[in-house]
Chain A
Amino acid sequence: MHFGFLTIYWRDMIRFVRFRTLLVSSLVQPALWMAFFGIAMSASFNRLTPDVPPVPGVPTIGYLTFMAAGVIAMTTLFTSLFGGMVLLFDKNWGLLREVMASPLPRDHVIFGIALSGMTKSFIQATIIMVFGILLGAEFFRGYSVGEVTVSVLGILLFVGIFSLGFLFLSAAIAISLESPEGMQGIMTLLTMPIFFASNALYPVNAFPPVLQAVSVGNPLTHLVNGIRYFAIGDHYQAIGVLYITSPAELLFSFSVLVVFALAMFGLAWWRFQRAVVT
Chain B
Amino acid sequence: MAKEIINVSGLVHRYGDFEAVRGIGFSVEEGEVFSFLGPNGAGKSTAINVLTTLLRIQEGSARVAGFDVATEPARVRESIGIVFQEVTLDRDMTCWEILEFHGCLYRMPRGERRERIDELLAVVELDAKRDTLTKHLSGGMKRRLEIARGLMTRPKVLFLDEPTIGLDPQTRRRMWDYIKAVNEAGTTIFLTTHYMDEADQLSDRISIIDHGQIIATGRGWDLKNRLAEDVIYLETSDNVRSKEIIGAMDEVTEVKEKTNGFVALVNQDGTHLLPRIMDEIRAHGIRIETVNLKKPSMDDVFVHFTGRELREERAERPSAAIARAGRR
Contact = CB atoms under 8 A, between A and B. Distances in A.
Contact of A98 (B45, B49, B56, B88): B88
Nearest to A277: B54
A14 B104 CA distance: 15
Nearest to A11: B101
Interface in B36-64: 45, 49, 52-56
Contacts of A11: 90, 93, 97, 101
Contacts of A93: 88
B88 A103 contact: no
A18 B92 contact: yes
Contacts of B77: 101-103
B191 interface: no
Contact of B78 (A18, A19, A94, A103): A103
User: Looking at chain A, what size class is its interface with the partner chain?
Assistant: 20 to 34
A101 B90 contact: no
A50 B55 CA distance: 66
A101 B97 CA distance: 18
A209 B30 CA distance: 72
A99 B55 CA distance: 14
B322 to A, nearest CB: 31
B93 A97 contact: no
A188 B107 CA distance: 38
A15 B54 CA distance: 25
Contacts, number: 64
A11 B96 CA distance: 12
Contacts of A14: 92-93, 97
Nearest to A15: B92
B84 A97 contact: yes
A4 interface: yes
A6 B54 CA distance: 23
A278 B55 contact: yes
B3 to A, nearest CB: 23
Contact of B106 (A19, A100, A103): A103
Given A11-B90, A98-B102, A277-B54, 14 more contacts: A7-B101, A7-B104, A11-B97, A11-B101, A18-B92, A94-B87, A97-B84, A97-B88, A98-B82, A98-B149, A100-B54, A103-B106, A276-B54, A278-B55
Interface of B: 45, 49, 52-56, 74, 77-78, 82, 84, 86-90, 92-93, 97, 101-102, 104-107, 149
Top 3 A-B residue pairs of the complex, sorted by shortest distance between their CB atoms: A7-B104, A102-B105, A94-B88
20 contacts: A2-B107, A4-B105, A6-B104, A7-B101, A7-B104, A10-B101, A10-B104, A11-B90, A11-B101, A97-B88, A98-B84, A101-B52, A101-B53, A101-B77, A102-B106, A103-B77, A103-B78, A103-B107, A276-B54, A278-B54
